[in-house]
Amino acid sequence: MKTIKFLSALALTLGLVACENYDLPNPPGQTNPEPDGYFQNSGLVLTPADQDINLVAANEANIFPTVATIDELIDFPGNEYSLEIDMQVGADAAFSKYTTIATIIENEHDVTVNPDIFNGAIQAMMTREPGIYQVPVRFAAYAVLGTTRMRLGGVDATYGDETLTVQTLNAEKVIENAYYVVPCSASGTPNLAAAMKMNNTAGEGVSAYDNPEFALKFDVAEGSDYYFMIAPQSAITANSTEGLFGCLGSDDNLSGKLGTSYGAGLIPINGAVFLTINMEQDSYTLSYAFEMLYPLSGSVKIENTMCLYTDNYINYTGVTAINRQWTLYTQPDKTGVIFYENPDVEPEVSDDSLNQSGSMTTAAGSKLSAPYKGNILYYCDVNLVQQTYSISGITSISVIGDPDWDLETAPQLTPSKDLRTWTGTDIQIGTEFKLNCNGAWDIDFGGEAVENTMGNKVYNVYYKGSNLPCEAGKYDVTVDFSAKPYTVTLVKK
């Protein structure tokens, strides 16, 4: 057995620091308190494990695997202190993001970890999919006396930076990387030949363990009863109805649980529908899948309505003019689904009467309300899955940019009567700018340049977009919210 050498605390340089003075990149989820200070010098020599670590075998054997060994420990502050070592598990070799877990020192030399905790750290930093991975690790050491915890080597000192080969634990439940909507007969017989592949909501190539949510937009014929089940890829490949997930619906059948013991689910809505499943939670949600929504208010003709748009059939956003009361339509001819205020949920209104959030229902009733007394522009966010909405009033729009980005002096634009366009003349603009609303940063618009002709510039802009690049000068400015993409046009003076 190797001998660990100890040296008196008198040989060390002691630094006391307050916790708030630490400025670590991407602060990790600590398993222990922040240190009360540090010992500047340290003779700790720590070597990471040189063999593969199998967390499955460790769990089965009920042991903590060794992840490093302590070869030497000199300049340690005497026997009155005890040594503690944390392991940092990185998302990459640069530790751009990491989490921290505690270790257990056994036999005075072996640094060991709980396999379940180590597995959880890998899942948090890298992936939840079981497999063999190259895991970046490093270690931080502490001298501990009672409630005092002093870091060895300095505030940011780490030891044994290395990559460990780790077999992670098997998943508690298997989640496949592809799932299908399978139409069924009224009696519940699935039709595998008509199965439709769903999309991982995080995009192609993402592990289902890291994002177990899948979605699909499809059409349900008017007046028909549409029954369905969910098939994993393995069932489709085997052309087998074994292992299909049925549905246990809620009272309205717009959501429910998935399970192999359930029968086929019924889709209670017609037209374009959006089905979302979460295979980790064994749940599903149904909603309408409209390309846009039409908020109507006052005497505005529907062809002049500033619509709400979506890229996921869940959230619909955009700017629109509202005069106290409004109704949300899914079709421009006012047919189809119509949303009203939910009488069972009281809307929440901000103190300045500009912002409001509430709940909607398809049951005919009172119109949706707006908090501001008058016709103004609102930025709207509607969630069709949860059938909720939020609206934020826009009473002014200014052009703000370098060199000072001064909210108080930023020149304001003038709205048209229908609030679809906002204009300004002879506005001095620097090398970049944005559209600011209400003299604050709660609502702003930016984006990217799409055209530059003879000094005249056109930009596509959207909520919370990037700063807009510009050639410094004086311009006439036109903002157009008539349709997506929203645009800003600069005409050089």
For the record, the structure tokens of 401 come out as: 């940019």
Q: Which CATH architecture has domain 9-167?
A: Sandwich (2.60)
Residues 392 and 354 sit within 8 Å (Cβ to Cβ): yes
Of the candidates 126, 138, 198, 209, which has an alpha carbon nearest to the alpha carbon of residue 172?
A: 209
Overall CATH class of domain 179-288:
mainly beta
Residues 160 and 71 sit within 8 Å (Cβ to Cβ): no
User: Domain residues of the chain, as ranges?
Assistant: 9-167, 179-288, 292-394, 397-492
pLDDT recorded at residue 41: 64
- As beta bridge partners, residue 378 has 320, 393
CA pair distance 26, 95, nearest whole angstrom: 9
pLDDT recorded at residue 460: 97
CA pair distance 344, 365, nearest whole angstrom: 11
Neighbours of 203 (CB within 10 A): 8
**What whole-number percentage of the chain has pLDDT above 90?**
72
For the record, the structure tokens of 288 come out as: 């309408």
pLDDT recorded at residue 11: 36
Average pLDDT of span 132-145 = 95
pLDDT recorded at residue 154: 85
Average pLDDT of span 122-148 = 94
What per-residue string of b and e applies to 18-41 under the rule 16 or more CB within 10 Å gives b? eeeeeeeeeebeeeeeebbbbbbb
pLDDT of residue 12 exceeding 80, the answer is no
pLDDT of residue 26 exceeding 60, the answer is no
For the record, the structure tokens of 8 come out as: 């008196």
pLDDT of residue 28 exceeding 50, the answer is no
Torsion of CA 262, 264, 268, 273, to 10 degrees: 110
Residues 136 and 93 sit within 8 Å (Cβ to Cβ): yes
Average pLDDT of span 266-273 = 90
Bond from prior residue into 332 cis (ω within 30 degrees of 0): no
Task: Look at the chain and count its residues.
Answer: 493
pLDDT recorded at residue 32: 59
pLDDT of residue 157 exceeding 50, the answer is yes
**335 vs 180, residue with greater confidence:** 180
Average pLDDT of span 128-149 = 94
pLDDT in tens, 285-316: 998 888 899 999 887 777 788 999 998 888 89
Tell me whether domains 9-167 and 179-288 share a fold.
Answer: yes
Of the candidates 354, 393, 367, which has an alpha carbon nearest to the alpha carbon of residue 297?
A: 367
Q: How many alpha carbons fall within 13 Å on the CB side of residue 351? A: 0
DSSP labels, 118-176: HHHHHHHHT-SS-SEEEEEEEEEEEEEETTEEEEETSTT--EEEEEEEEEPPPPSS---
Q: How many alpha carbons fall within 13 Å on the CB side of residue 182? A: 29
**pLDDT tier, 348 (very low <50, low <70, confident <90, very high otherwise):** very high
pLDDT recorded at residue 437: 97
Which CATH number does 292-394 carry? 2.60.40
pLDDT recorded at residue 124: 95
Q: Which residue in this structure is represented by tokens 């530059």?
A: 452
Phi, psi dihedral angles at 344 (to 5 degrees): -90, -5
What DSSP element (H or E) covers 116? Answer: helix 115-125
- Please indicate, yes or no, whether the overall pTM of this predicted structure exceeds 0.75: no
Residues 335 and 367 sit within 8 Å (Cβ to Cβ): no
pLDDT of residue 382 exceeding 70, the answer is yes
